[in-house]
Structures are given as structure tokens and as C-alpha cells.
Structure 1
Amino acid sequence: MPAASEADAVSPATRQSNFEQGVALALHLWPDLTLAVQNHWGGPDSEDKRDWFAGAVVDLFPDLSKPSTAAAPSQDEPDTAYVEEFLLQVMVDEFEVNVDDDSSLEVAEQIIRVRNGCVNGNFEEVDTLRRRFESRKGSKVSFQKGEDEEVEASDWDTDEEEDGDDDASDGDVEMGDAPPREPAKKERQEPHVDEDGFTTVTRKKR
């Protein structure tokens, strides 16, 4: 963690920018969301919905670039349970997916760690997510803030192309162009669609 003087020297805008990037990276690395986007379960604009999704998560938190935001998390800061509930609700509402594994909690915990770090001028968690993302694709990510305003966080717009026919593997999802299909190691597990038409994503057993 940076020394107090170093942390104080980090501008509010830099803290907010890193928080936004961290949220976008966490969502791009979420296997269940990647699977939903690849298969267009949110419709033809599924990729745009993911960008909007990141902006909606960012908007749950006070803007760190505003002088009115305290130097430490305030009472208005959502906790892990609230963020996870929001993630699950958006997956149902926008992608018609019931997430039936622990991945939503893992993503929520990542987002809270990113938030706490950025509040204190510590971007280690963001850097970790960035390295994970770049090791898989090295593309750029973006998010949409509010209803209409698309925010390009410096070099972080998305330029990836999703292939609707490729499945996600056990929590280790390729973020780039569709890799060549490998010889079947296991029989592909088809998503379960319940009587209400919602897709349920379950964690595959290793």
C-alpha cells in the first residue's frame, strides 16, 4: 500500500478512473457474463449491455472525483451483499440468466476490493485484474455511465469480437477472438432453461 503521502498525492479523478476500469475488468472476466454475451442471451446488443452494466455498477457508489466524497467509504457505500444482489438482478433482467454458482459473490468481492483500494489511492487490485485480462486477450474495455453517456476510460474501449457459439470453460474464459475448437475432452453441458424461459448457469465440476 502506498505511504500516506503518496496516497494523498493521488488525484480524486485518478481514483475514480481506476475504480471504473476495475469494475469493467471484473465484469469482462466474469465467466457467466462472458458466456451470456457470447451466446447473445441479452439479444443482439449483449456486448453493449455489458458496457452499460459496468457503468450501472459504478453508479452504485459515490463518485470519487467529486470533492463531496469523503476520503474513506461513507455510509452510502454499498456492501458486498448489495453488489452481488445487483449483479444477479441485472443478469436476470438483461440476460435472462439465473446464476447458480458462487461467481457472482466472487465478482462482488472483487469490486469491493477495487473500491476500497481506489478510495485509499491503492490500485493493486485493478492492476491484478488488468494483468489477468491482458493475459487472455489484451483488448480494451469500456462502460456506459448512466443511460446514454458512453465513457471511454482512456485506452479501455472494447474492441473484442464475441463468438456466439463458443462456451466458457471452468472459470477460465478466453477474452479474444474465438480459439480453434479443441477435441472434446468432456461432453458439453447445455445450459438449463427453466419453465419461465430463464437460463440457469451452474458451475461445472472439475
Structure 2
Amino acid sequence: MNAIDPTDYVEAEEGQLYLRFGDDKQQAKFELGVCMAIYKWEELTTAVDNSWGGPKSGEKRDWISGIVIELFDEKVVDVQLIEETLLYAMVDEFDTEIDNDSALEIGALVMKFYKNVRDRKYEAIDELYNKWTEKQATKTSKEKVTVGADPNNPDASDSESDDEEDEEPHGDDDMDVDVQEPAGPVIDDDGFELVQTRRRR
């Protein structure tokens, strides 16, 4: 891989207040490119797959894509800014410090995609997206194969469902405890027994 220049940057054209594209197709392609770059980051993929950010790790990855896209609401963005944003997000959201140049590489890829989109060259983004969709399709088909009865223990799923059915009536018993009448007489502060009205069920 060619050496990455952390100071490589893009700047809004004169009269423009931000780097966001005015053309909807260009902006959509750029946002897709950012998402594909983030999904390509192996360190983040490992963190998501292992739920280092908790049960919503996948959503956090999408959020990171969003904050990188928002960087381009400014007039100037460089590779180092994208790298730092990614590194801070990994610490804040996944409690993980990255000590290699992987975030810098992703920052450079985002910068490359921005320049491509500016020149209306979408091939690299489309290629990465096609690879990603193929990978997702393969992953989904594998998951479908593994779902089903365990051939080594065919009764496992049946017994689990039986256990769940057995547990349900206990939940109803617990509810009855809350509405039962007091067992003995109720005496007030002056020592008189209070007359209790029975609640109808």
C-alpha cells in the first residue's frame, strides 16, 4: 500500500460553507462509501462481532459512520481528523484502544472516496458494496443451514419449549399472591377490629 499522507485534505470550494455535496446522488454515493470504509475496518468488525460495545454494538458502528459523514459538514477535512474521530469513537463506544495504523488507512480510504465522488467516479465504492452484499448473503445462508434441530441431541429443542410452558403457570401463581385477602383480622391504632370487604375476583 502506498504511504498515507495524514495531512491530505479536501476544502470546500469558494463560496461554499461545507463539503457536503449539493447533488443528492453524489451525497448518497459518498455516504455509502463512508459506510463501506467503516465496515471494512477489521478492528471495528472484531469489536462488533464480540459485542465489546454491548448488545447494540452494530448500531454503534452505524453511528460511527454517521459522525464521519458529519465531519464533511465543515469547510475543511483532513485524513488525520477522520483517523482521530475513529480512534476516539473506539475508546468511547467499545473501550478499545487501537495502536496500529488501521484507523489512518480507513481515514485515507474515506478521503479517496470523497475525491472519487467529487469527480463522479463511483466504481471503487460500487465494487466494495457489491463485495459486502455478497458476503452478507453468504453469511445469511450459512446461518439458515445451522438453524434447526441438533442432530446429536434432537430432543433439546422440544425439552426447552416444554420448560417454557411449565414456567408460565408459575407466573400466574405469583400474580395471585398480590390480590389475596389478608389472613387475619386487621386492628386499627385504637385497638378496634376493622370490617373487611371481600374483593370479587
Cα distance in 2 for partners of 1:124, 1:118 equals 10
TM-score, structure 1 length as denominator?
Answer: 0.54
1:35 paired residue number: 46
Unaligned runs of 5+ in 1: 1-9, 63-74, 140-159, 162-175, 181-206
Quick one: distance in 1 between partners of 2:103 and 2:143?
25
- Residue of structure 2 equivalent to 1:79: 78
Give the corresponding residue for 2:109.
Answer: 110
- Percent sequence identity over aligned pairs: 34
Match in the other structure for 1:25: 36
Residues 92-171 of structure 1: matches in 2 within 5 Å?
92-138=91-137
Corresponding position of 1:144: none
Output one character per residue of 1:40-85: Cα deviation in whole Å (capped at 9) or x when no partner: 11111111111111111100003xxxxxxxxxxxx82311111111
Q: Which runs of 5+ in 2 are unaligned?
A: 1-20, 147-201
The 3 A distance-change label for structure 1 pair 84 and 43 is same
- Aligned-pair Cα RMSD in Å: 2.8
Do the aligned partners of 1:22 and 1:126 also contact (CA within 8 Å) in 2?
A: yes
Aligned positions, number = 125
Counterpart of 2:72, as a letter, is F
Letter in 1 for 2:47: A
Q: What is the identity, as a one-letter code, of the residue corresponding to 1:28?
A: Y
- Structure having the larger proportion of residues in helix: 2
Q: 1:138 to 1:12 in 2, by over 3 A?
A: farther
Higher relative contact order (CA 8 A, sep 6+): 1
Aligned match of 2:59 in 48, 54, 58? Answer: 48
Give the 3 Å change call, closer, same or farther, for CA 94–179 of structure 1 in structure 2: farther
From the CA coordinates, give the structure whose radius of gyration is larger.
2
* Divergent runs of 4+, >2 A: 134-139, 176-180
Of 12, 22, 29, which aligns to 2:23? 12
Residue 44 to residue 101, structure 1, CA distance change in 2 (3 Å): same
Amino acid at match of 1:24: C
Task: Please list the CA deviations of residues 110-138 of structure 1 after superposition, one character each: whole Å capped at 9, or x if unmatched.
Answer: 10011111122111221232133234224
Contact 1:113–1:125, Cα closer than 8 Å, also in 2: no
The residue aligned with 2:153 is: none
